[in-house]
Chain A
Amino acid sequence: MTPRTVISAALLILGGAFFLAGTLGLLRFPDVYSRLHALTKADNLGLGFVAVGLSIEAASFALSVKVFIVWASVVLASGISSQLIAGAAFRAGVAPAGKAPPGEAP
């Protein structure tokens, strides 16, 4: 086992751990806003670690560039979708946990 493989494996495991944390947050957090927060933050970071881990092992430079394009697109997509979902939830009157619904007096 080369040091390269070890580093790559460690990064992949670390990425997996972030995914696990994100999923836990999705399941356990109290409201849609904090769930989105857990999901997008942790998963984007997790995917970043996975991407770095994979590109260390990648056969060519072009391949590692592709892996990073994948990561960048996911970050963009999850940024847009989480913003849209949170905005829609807010306008639909979904209250953050422990607060009054938006538009009503506290």
Chain B
Amino acid sequence: MIPPIDLLLATALPLIAWRVLATDELPTSVVLFIAFGLLSALAWARLDAPDVALVEAAVGTGLTGALLMSSLRSMERPRPPSPWRARAIALVAAAIAVALASVVALLPRGALGLGPAVLARSEESGVAQPVTAVLMNFRGHDTHLEMLVLLAASIGVLSIQHGTASHGVDTAPTSSVVMMLVELIVPALVVLAGYLVWRGSRAPGGAFQAGAILAGGAVLLLLTRRMAPLSLERQMVRMFLFAGPVLFFLVAAVPLGFGGDMLEYPRGWGGSLILGLESALTLSIATILTMFFPQGAPAPRRRG
């Protein structure tokens, strides 16, 4: 039988989602969206997906929520949806939901999928944690392209908001209490990120979780003016940004020179190469996620 907590979560999620999209005030919606994300992280945990829960809490909710918040300031006053429109949305949604739910209910009930195949081969992949094995090895091609999506999006964001950061986050001087707390928490976040990368090969954790946490710390530093805005003009930023993608490129390309496959890890080197790659990816992901935020002060502008 289905446990009450699962039933509660499964019903609460669509209801909150509905509130997120139907509330009059946009800031309320964003706050509700963050609450929604945290609840869905609980759902992932209930479904034995701690990796997904971590990433959802850190990236899907934490960073996306903060991004939405930071973009609220530039909004004009929203118009609440007209009643007929809200009703139309509800009707269409209900129809789609019923149709799709009946299709999902027809799916085979038993275990079906690549799970056993992954477990059988995870020894050869060099990492014991199955999700990391899939991400970094069996389906490494996906992850490689996904990293490029992230990098390309950051180039897009930079090109869109070139030099116009006056609409950025509020960076007025902050109180000494905040400073003290930030000084306490940022080193702790760095340690936590390192720990997540390191243990990603055996337990839930990995580059994306760690990168999101580092980015959280970086955003705190930006908010409290402890860190200058990230700009591609800075050598350090460029190095952090490209470390992951460049290393990934090399890991993909070099085996081809030795008659191997793209992204083939040399026998016995899987574990250590993946750890190195994940460390570099963590830095790049953290940099990219931080760059998604409107940077505080205007970047030094150089023409030509």
Contact = CB atoms under 8 A, between A and B. Distances in A.
Direct contact of A and B (CB under 8 A): yes
A80 interface: yes
B181 A80 contact: yes
B185 A87 contact: no
Given A73-B188, A88-B170, A91-B170, A80 B175 contact: no
Nearest to B170: A88
B172 interface: yes
A84 B188 contact: no
Contacts of B181: 76, 79-80, 83
A17 to B, nearest CB: 21
Contacts of B177: 79, 83
Contacts of B174: 83-84, 87
Contact of A87 (B175, B182, B184, B188): B175
B223 interface: yes
B118 interface: no
Given A73-B188, A76-B185, A77-B185, A83 B220 contact: no
Contacts, number: 29
Interface in A35-79: 73, 76-77, 79
B178 interface: yes
A73 B177 CA distance: 16
Contacts of B223: 84
A77 B177 CA distance: 12
A13 B170 CA distance: 39
A6 B182 CA distance: 38
Nearest to B185: A76
Nearest to A78: B181
Interface residues of A, number: 10
Interface of B: 170, 172, 174-175, 177-178, 181-182, 184-185, 188, 220, 223
Interface of A: 73, 76-77, 79-80, 83-84, 87-88, 91
B25 to A, nearest CB: 14
Contacts of B175: 83, 87
A84 B185 contact: no
Contacts of A77: 185
Contacts of B188: 73, 76
Given A83-B177, A83-B178, A76 B172 contact: no
A76 B170 contact: no
24 contacts: A73-B185, A73-B188, A76-B181, A76-B184, A76-B188, A77-B185, A79-B177, A79-B181, A80-B178, A80-B181, A80-B185, A80-B220, A83-B174, A83-B175, A83-B177, A83-B178, A83-B181, A84-B174, A84-B178, A87-B172, A87-B174, A87-B175, A87-B178, A88-B170
**7 A-B pairs with the lowest CB-CB distances in the bound complex, closest first:** A83-B178, A80-B181, A76-B185, A79-B181, A88-B170, A91-B172, A83-B177
A79 B184 CA distance: 12
Nearest to A91: B172
A80 B219 CA distance: 12
A92 B175 CA distance: 16
B293 to A, nearest CB: 14
